[in-house]
């Protein structure tokens, strides 16, 4: 075999590896319950646009590998650019508010999520498609409605079985979620903090989770606290 043919074969093999190698296997779509975030952080701050509605909000859409590891900060060139999502801003303010302090308009949180996670799936979803996919997934899951349908409503001091929460979400969406708990401000009771669902690589369909995340496990009974009485510890206006 002459040298140039050998080079061509090697080049084709490299191309094949690049073509079949996957950037990631699936996404975790993670939603947070704002009252639980505020209870734990104890110093949550409402967004500049005001107190969010009592609803689940998006934490992130995170590319993951099947072995439990995940890529992060994959492209330092194509960093967050807010001008690419101006048409989605009002939906993002409503469905992906930032409760961290100091108060913000959400850009910092969205920018962090895109830079850390979104850049790792950009051959599937560019920046605009990534945010739109997350917003559409939130609507599709409609978690609050799923829980309401099963009589599971936010209320302080009321406990629901973890199984009933998972069953209600499975009943409504077709998929069993992973529930991540934290402890309330008194540090005594487990409360529903985040809901993880798995999504295939194009970012539009839920799938059965290939692997459960390493999260904080929940006790068998958990609180689903109300957001109505929550007052942020620091409100920077
Ligand atoms: P925590 O330790 O609060 O669960 O996670 C901190 C951060 O690490 C998350 O917000 C997220 O950015 C990242 N992270 C934690 N677990 C996972 C995971 O299973 N997959 C991915 N892609 N990111 C994760
Ligand atoms: P992660 O790396 O955990 O995906 O992203 C969490 C980062 O976003 C942290 O630096 C956190 O302070 C910031 N952040 C801003 N707003 C929020 C919020 O409402 N919820 C969560 N979980 N993190 C937020």
Q: Identify the nearest ligand to the CA of 41 by its number.
A: 2
Domain count, the chain: 1
Q: Check residue 116 and give its pLDDT.
A: 98
Residue 36: CB within 6 Å of ligand 2?
A: no
Residue 182's H or E segment, with its range, is strand 178-183
Q: Check residue 187 and give its pLDDT.
A: 72
- Does residue 4 lie within any of the structural domains? no
- Does residue 172 lie within any of the structural domains? yes
Residue 73 main-chain phi, psi, to 5 deg: 45, 65
- Does residue 59 lie within any of the structural domains? yes
- Does residue 187 lie within any of the structural domains? yes
pLDDT along the chain (237 residues), means of 10: 46 42 89 92 85 96 97 97 98 97 94 98 97 98 98 93 98 97 82 97 97 86 87 51
- Does residue 203 lie within any of the structural domains? yes
Strands 190-199 and 26-32: antiparallel
Residue 224: CB within 6 Å of ligand 1?
A: no
Q: Check residue 215 and give its pLDDT.
A: 67
Domain extent for 124: 22-229
Q: Looking at the chain, how many residues does it have?
A: 237
Greatest CA span in the chain, whole angstroms? Answer: 78
Q: How far apart are CA 81 and CA 12, in angstroms?
A: 36
C-alpha distances in Å from residue 202, one per residue of 30, 164, 207: 16, 30, 11
Q: Check residue 15 and give its pLDDT.
A: 42
- Does residue 144 lie within any of the structural domains? yes
- Does residue 11 lie within any of the structural domains? no
> Looking at residue 163, which CATH number applies to its domain?
3.90.730.10
Which of 172, 171, 175, 168 shows the shortest CA–CA distance to 209?
A: 175
At 50-72, the pLDDT tens digits run 999 999 999 999 999 999 999 99
Q: Check residue 41 and give its pLDDT.
A: 66
The catalytic residues are 59, 113, 117
Residue 126 main-chain phi, psi, to 5 deg: -75, 180
Q: Check residue 186 and give its pLDDT.
A: 74
pTM of the model: 0.90
Bond from prior residue into 102 cis (ω within 30 degrees of 0): yes
Residue 61: CB within 6 Å of ligand 2?
A: no
- Does residue 3 lie within any of the structural domains? no
Q: How far apart are CA 124 and CA 158, in angstroms?
A: 42
Q: Are 165 and 192 in contact (CB under 8 A)?
A: yes
Q: Identify the nearest ligand to the CA of 69 by its number.
A: 1
């Amino acid at each position: 075999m002459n040298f140039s043919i050998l080079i061509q074969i090697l080049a084709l093999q490299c191309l094949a590896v690049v073509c079949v190698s996957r950037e990631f296997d699936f996404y975790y779509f993670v939603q947070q319950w704002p009252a639980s975030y505020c209870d734990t952080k104890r110093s949550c701050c409402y967004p500049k646009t005001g107190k969010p509605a009592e609803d689940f909000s998006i934490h992130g859409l995170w590319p993951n590998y099947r072995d439990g590891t995940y890529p992060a900060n994959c492209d330092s060139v194509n960093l967050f650019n807010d001008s690419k999502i101006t048409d989605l801003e009002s939906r993002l303010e409503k469905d992906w508010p930032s409760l961290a302090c100091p108060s913000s308009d959400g850009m910092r949180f969205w920018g962090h999520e895109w830079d850390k996670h979104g850049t790792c799936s950009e051959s599937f979803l560019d920046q605009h498609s990534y945010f739109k996919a997350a917003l559409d997934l939130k609507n599709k899951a409609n978690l609050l409605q799923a829980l309401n349908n099963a009589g599971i409503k936010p209320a302080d001091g009321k406990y629901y079985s973890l199984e009933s929460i998972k069953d209600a979400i499975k009943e409504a969406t077709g998929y069993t979620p992973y529930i991540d708990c934290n402890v309330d401000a008194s540090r005594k009771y487990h409360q529903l903090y985040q809901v993880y669902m798995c999504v295939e690589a194009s970012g539009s369909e839920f799938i059965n989770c290939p692997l459960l995340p390493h999260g904080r496990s929940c006790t068998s009974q958990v609180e689903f606290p109300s957001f109505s009485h929550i007052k942020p510890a620091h409100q920077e206006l």
